[in-house]
């Protein structure tokens, strides 16, 4: 029996993301994959790099 499903690819992929604001590292090795149809919420305090990500 064959599987007719096609392999879905992520609509967003982030690998090993790092971000500094001056000497302050706000993102350290972030990895994220968002697949079609998924809903993701990114939570964090002000200045933590959410918008940058």
Does a structural domain hold residue 29? yes
Tell me, what's the pLDDT at 6?
73
Do the domain assignments include residue 46?
no
Angle of CA points 14, 16, 21, to nearest 5°: 100
Among 6, 16, 19, 17, residue whose Cα is nearest residue 35 = 6
In a domain? residue 49:
no
* Domain assignment of residue 30, given as a range: 8-36
> Does residue 32 belong to any structural domain of this protein?
yes
Domain membership of residue 43 (yes or no) is no
The stretch 11-25 carries a mean pLDDT of 95
User: What mean pLDDT, rounded, does the chain reach?
Assistant: 90
Residue % of the chain over a pLDDT of 70: 91
User: Does residue 47 sit within a domain?
Assistant: no
At residue 20, the pLDDT reads 93
In a domain, 41, yes or no: no
Tell me whether residue 13 is in a domain: yes
Q: Is the pLDDT of residue 2 over 70?
A: no
**What is the count of structural domains for the chain?**
1
- Classify the C-alpha dihedral 39-40-46-47 as positive or negative: negative
Q: Give the predicted TM-score (pTM) of the model.
A: 0.71
Cα 50 off chain centre by: 10
């Amino acid at each position: 029996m064959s599987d007719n499903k096609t392999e879905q690819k992520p609509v967003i992929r982030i690998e090993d993301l790092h971000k500094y604001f001056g000497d302050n590292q706000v993102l350290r090795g972030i990895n994220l994959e968002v697949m079609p149809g998924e809903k993701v919420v990114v939570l964090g305090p002000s200045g933590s790099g959410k918008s940058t990500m």
